[in-house]
Amino acid sequence: MKFSANIGFLWNELPLTDAIKAAKAAGFDAVECHFPYGTPAAAVASTLEETGLPMLGLNTVRGQEGENGLAALPGRERDARRAIEQAIEYAAEIKAKNVHVMAGTADGEMACSTYMANLEYAAEIAEPYELTILMEPLNHLDAPGYFLKNTSQASDIIQKLARPNVKLMFDSYHVQITEGDLTRRLARLQPIIGHIQFASVPDRGPPDCGEIDYDHIFATIAELGFEMPLGAEYRPAGRTEDSLKWLSNIKSKERIK
């Protein structure tokens, strides 16, 4: 099984390029990030080439304070599309796989139609770069009022859009808090999942603590045939290196096999 370090949370005290190198040294198979735009794309691309790690994805910008994304905000279409263009341009330059289009704090039919139109736009301009557009439901505790609330809502939008490069980002942490039933939900949604992330619940720490049995979840994902690296998007309590016992344990078991 392969794992990606989300350097929005892991080694986030380091410059982005140094965090990529730290992830390589720790044994990760890939990296992903949140908002890399303060670092020139050429520097990130060079570091990825040096380390041999792929960049799995990045986010569109959050917008103004409290917006938490722009794509579902009626009246902000121009800003949302600029953010989409910025993310896709950056992702293409560093050869990333995915762009997560953040929906924002919104609700109602106008928000839904705005979001779908912006996703359609994102899918269209991402296609020549072979980029996947991701949608991620966020839980009501960490992101109150966020437009995309659960996997059923996301699945319905994906079905209506019918764009092969629009997929679900299945964040096990958010899904467990909002919906639970991770094993059956992963199996049911597998055809539309583009990326999987994980963290413990309820504290969003490493996967070897909390209420989710990640040994079982990782085994389930393997049985489903999902081969892309899984995103470690958790918050270390201290140094990132001190939170990686779970990774060394998995790697040790794989070596024994």
Whether the pTM exceeds 0.95: the reply is yes
Average pLDDT in the 115-132 region?
98
Residue 187 has pLDDT above 80, yes or no: yes
Q: Which domains does the chain have, with CATH numbers?
A: 3-256 (3.20.20.150)
Model pLDDT, residue 36: 98
Percent of the chain with pLDDT over 70: 99
The catalytic residue among 109, 124, 136, 227 is 136
Is residue 233 among the annotated active site residues?
yes
Percent of the chain past pLDDT 90, that is, above it, reads: 97
Given the residues 65, 109, 233, 241, select the one marked as catalytic: 233
Tell me the per-residue pLDDT of 92-101, one tens digit each, with 9 for 90 and over.
Answer: 999 999 999 9
Place of tokens 């109150």: 144
Asked if 227 is an active-site residue, the reply is no
Can you spell out the DSSP letters for 163-216?
Answer: -TTEEEEEEHHHHHHHT--HHHHHHHHGGGEEEEEE--TTT---TTSSS--HHH
- Name the band, by pLDDT with cuts 50, 70 and 90, for residue 12: very high
Q: Is the pLDDT of residue 251 over 90?
A: no
